[in-house]
Structure 1
Amino acid sequence: MVWLAIIGLLTLCHSGIAHRTKFPDGFTFGVATAAHQIEGAWNISGKSENVWDRLTHSRPELIADGTNGDVATDSYHRYQEDVDALAYLGVDFYRLSLSWSRILPSGRNNYINPDGIRYYNALLDALAEKNIEPLVTLFHWDLPQSLQDLGGWANPKMIDFFRDYADFCFREFGDKIKSWITINEPYEICEDGYGDEKKAPAIDSHGVGNYLCSDTLLKAHAEVFHLYNETYREKQNGTIMISINSIWYEPSDPENTEQVTLAETANQFKFGWFAHPIFTEQGGYPAVMVENIARESMQEGLTKPRLQQFDDYWIQRIKGTSDFLGINHYTTFLVTGPGVDPTAKSPSWLKDTGAVTTMEVGEDSASEWLRVVPAGFGNLLRWCKSSYNDPPIYITENGFSDRGTLEDYGRIKYLNDYLTEILNVIYEDNVRVLGYALWTLVDNFEWRAGFSERFGVYYVDITQPDRPRTPKLSAEYYRALVATRELPQDERFFDQARL
């Protein structure tokens, strides 16, 4: 059994060798960013405070290097430099997000900030001049603080607030935007923002607020999808989806049936939490989630479960509300057995899963949570194909962190190995992956890591007021990839000492 476990781990860590290096016709390449992480200009020209402004200003000790998004990479003033960088890379599309508090400072549509409209129109026009398609996320974590003061995503009224905000954006920008994402990484919003203090608004209502959040968020997503579908799709001829993130969970011993079952449970709790209601025929939360949380709630003496299944109306209303499956993926964890993770609070999502996990697999990165396990990416994509009726998939984020080196061979190897897995599942398993967005364009404000972890293909010197951008070696790698639609073979991109 020990040998089987070791063989399984070696197989998982091994970077697959693609039988092909060329991407299929029609496959598109892009780069992803988020408004709060790059724009800066946090309180000028009518923009109001958002939850990340509040967190970084009121609790700066939570940010690893004490930085914040006040200036970030100053893309508000330097967006043309970013567009020029995108044009140099040759990408087909640019995934960006809109700042809700820059467009509607109160969070509601009673006042529209003209500068916010001006800024995004200027950015969209600059992209159009370079023939770069915008893929626009309506909400990427930066909720207006005024709405958080009313309860944020734990308040059911957010369904109406989000719908009104989306309605305005569709109406104002829809002639320039043909591809929309409603919400980025709902797990991170709900679990890390309302079930913990890992991300703003840092409510830490563990085991309660996270599930109130998911209930509201999924309904809000569905209402915005139906709004677009019924009011804007025909005249604007666009598409709309959600981006769901996932660590992929593997059994540490693939021959251990209990671990295999627990890994499936963990994947349902992580990815299925938000994918199952939208992408399955039956809809609703995964049965294992409902059952586990009901059992835990009963043991806690509660008369009602902390997570309740949607009623029939909302099951039907949420089902099918995404044109594509957007996937953000970076790493893989191992499930080692049943039980309660020693770091789990009570009650909590982590305790509800009933699985103990470890991230001790693969090479490390600058991020504690990110290990390099390419084969896990392939397994996630195969699982999504079989679990969600073979959906068309866009990889809306994937990338690697280091400390900012310009000769970033580690990032290049990561990208090459993870892209290899995409090629493998496309050609060998007929998984319908249609496009790929690298995270990220420029070194940016990485949330609670600040600027201590660098994901960009352009280095940004935040000690300089003009925030100069310098291309890393990975920028040249990605440029070659996009130009040829083929994994680059040039030896200059690969550190021979590491191979």
Structure 2
Amino acid sequence: MNKDFLWGAAMCASQAEGGYLEGGKGLTANDIFPALNEGRWEALYNVPESLQKKYNYYPSHQAIDFYHRYVEDIKLLAELGIKVFRTSINWARIFPNGDELEPNEEGLQFYEDVFNECGKYGITPVVTLNHFDTPLGLYKYGGWKNKKVITFFERYCETVFKRFKTQVKYWITFNEINMILGIPIVGGLIDPLKEENILEAKYQGAHNQLVASAIATKIGHEINPEFMVGSMIGAGKNYPYSPNPADVWAAYQADQEEYSLIDVQVKGKYSAYMRRYFEKNDIDILATEEEMALLKTYTADFLALSYYSTRLTAANNEDKEATGGNIADTLKNSYLEANDFGWQIDPLGFRITLNELYDRYEVPLFIVENGLAAMDVADENYFVEDDYRINYFAKHIQAMKEAMDDGVDIIGYATWGTIDIVSASSGIMSKRYGLVYVDLDDEGNGTRNRYKKKSFDWYKKVVTSNGEELM
């Protein structure tokens, strides 16, 4: 491994911080789970009082309390010897409703304190600007479907770029930007129940995010030419269910649609496949010549990605067994094992995915999320002997090293949810990724104290050996 390789740890604001209305913060969609998760869309109009009789625990309201315990948590992460900490700024801490003219100083000071704490240990923050936390106040505009939100995002970016221009080098504009197509309410604050043409609304919202990302890249480079401003995809190769050409074509289409937004962020234009897709599906994107010029000029400096599993795709899903996946289910691959939630474990698929992304985009890759979700059970001393997680990481890191030997340029690697955090999709705590166990259950009971799992010392050995000691 290159001596400059960036080993890291990862989490995000909405799943870790808590303090959901402290320090002047506004609301985001994450703050009204599990209501939204159950389709209780009235939560968007009356938050949170109208639902308090049914729901008395909203996981992100306290989360694991990183907001008050960040000094302890960063010290714990520093023990691993990591070089980078991938986290996010919650936009609603800086502009509580999203459309204010002036930022909230308490929010800015909080992140300044967090980044200063990282600096004490020589840890560089890798910061996501929008990790599924568009301020709920922008719902009244129609969310990201409305071009006014681009202006609000631009103001937010300029504010944080200036404030943290000496503390942060790596920025990611949108977490897993392709997720706006699968979960538009979380990814783009676009309400499926209010749209006559939800497909068009999703792609309009996605286009506006692409424009906002290009503007952020432009501003970032102007404020600090040393900034690296990247895009991010929720990655995972789509395999065909069988050699049937119809299945191969279905998998190809799934990949093209998965890559459609990253194509724009890295290559500066929509692919021919997607232009035909828009025409075929009567999708009329409002895109000006000025916007297309911005997209062409201000492309991503690197491509960040999350990877958990590959997907299996067929032309016809009838009579085929489904299994769990990141956001959306997929078909079950009989050649692969799965985690406790049905997500299929595929280290070779990781190598395939990394090679394909690098071949397609020819920009450095940054793995900012990789991990195993499991129903960890702690003993009476809160110790978790998670050999299954160690095995997962060892195989995936080895696959990453082989991809690098293949010629793939990779900046760094960060384990996801390095300290246990609440689930983004469900809000549960029992779905654990961490190397550190947090004493907290699905109903919010527990001390929130931290305890190292067996995988903690294992990953410390990996980091200090620069990936040489995997087992």
TM-score over 0.5 for the pair: yes
**Contact residue 233 and residue 239 of structure 1 kept, 8 A:** no
* Equivalences for residues 54-453 of structure 1 within 5 A: 54-56=32-34, 67-194=58-185, 203=192, 205=195, 206-229=198-221, 231-234=222-225, 237-253=226-242, 255-270=243-258, 272-280=259-267, 283-295=268-280, 297=281, 305-306=282-283, 308=285, 313-319=290-296, 321-337=299-315, 358-361=331-334, 362-368=336-342, 370-388=343-361, 390-405=362-377, 406-427=384-405, 429-450=406-427, 451-453=429-431
Unmatched 5+ stretches in structure 2: 41-53, 322-327, 378-383
Question: Percent identity of the aligned residues?
Answer: 27
**Contact residue 457 and residue 471 of structure 1 kept, 8 A:** yes
Amino acid at match of 1:139: N
Q: Which has the higher contact order (CA 8 A, sep 6+)?
A: 1
Match of 1:8 in 2: none
CA distance in 1, matches of 2:440, 2:135: 25
| TM-score scaled by length of structure 2 | 0.85
- Residue 4 of structure 2 is aligned with which of 18, 26, 29? 26
Distance 1:342 1:64, change over 3 A: farther
**Contact residue 382 and residue 431 of structure 1 kept, 8 A:** yes
CA distance in 2, matches of 1:358, 1:416: 25
CA distance in 1, matches of 2:277, 2:167: 45
Amino acid at match of 1:260: V
* Equivalences for residues 456-471 of structure 1 within 5 A: 456-462=434-440, 466-471=447-452
Deviation at 1:386, TM superposition (A): 1.9
Distance 1:378 1:152, change over 3 A: same
CA distance in 1, matches of 2:135, 2:99: 9
Distance 1:261 1:316, change over 3 A: farther
Unmatched 5+ stretches in structure 1: 1-22, 298-304, 344-349, 351-355, 491-499
Residues 111-138 of structure 1, C-alpha deviation per residue, up to 9 Å, x if partnerless? 3222212211111111111111111111
**Contact residue 459 and residue 469 of structure 1 kept, 8 A:** yes
Q: Which moved more, 1:455-464 or 1:172-181?
A: 455-464
Amino acid at match of 1:74: D
CA distance in 1, matches of 2:398, 2:245: 29
Deviation at 1:260, TM superposition (A): 3.0
**Contact residue 8 and residue 83 of structure 2 kept, 8 A:** yes
CA distance in 1, matches of 2:102, 2:447: 32
**Contact residue 373 and residue 431 of structure 2 kept, 8 A:** yes
| TM-score scaled by length of structure 1 | 0.81
Q: Give the paired residue count.
A: 437
Deviation at 1:175, TM superposition (A): 1.9
Deviation at 1:31, TM superposition (A): 0.9
Deviation at 1:284, TM superposition (A): 2.6
Distance 1:294 1:158, change over 3 A: same
CA distance in 2, matches of 1:288, 1:413: 39
CA distance in 1, matches of 2:32, 2:332: 31
CA distance in 2, matches of 1:64, 1:381: 41
Match of 2:43 in 1: none
Q: Determine helix, strand or coil for the equivalent of 2:374.
A: coil
Q: Determine helix, strand or coil for the equivalent of 1:90.
A: coil
Amino acid at match of 2:371: G
CA distance in 2, matches of 1:306, 1:55: 31
Q: Determine helix, strand or coil for the equivalent of 1:424.
A: helix
CA distance in 2, matches of 1:78, 1:341: 49
Deviation at 1:178, TM superposition (A): 1.5
Amino acid at match of 2:266: F
Amino acid at match of 1:265: Q
Amino acid at match of 1:277: V
CA distance in 1, matches of 2:462, 2:286: 45
CA distance in 2, matches of 1:436, 1:193: 28
Match of 2:50 in 1: none
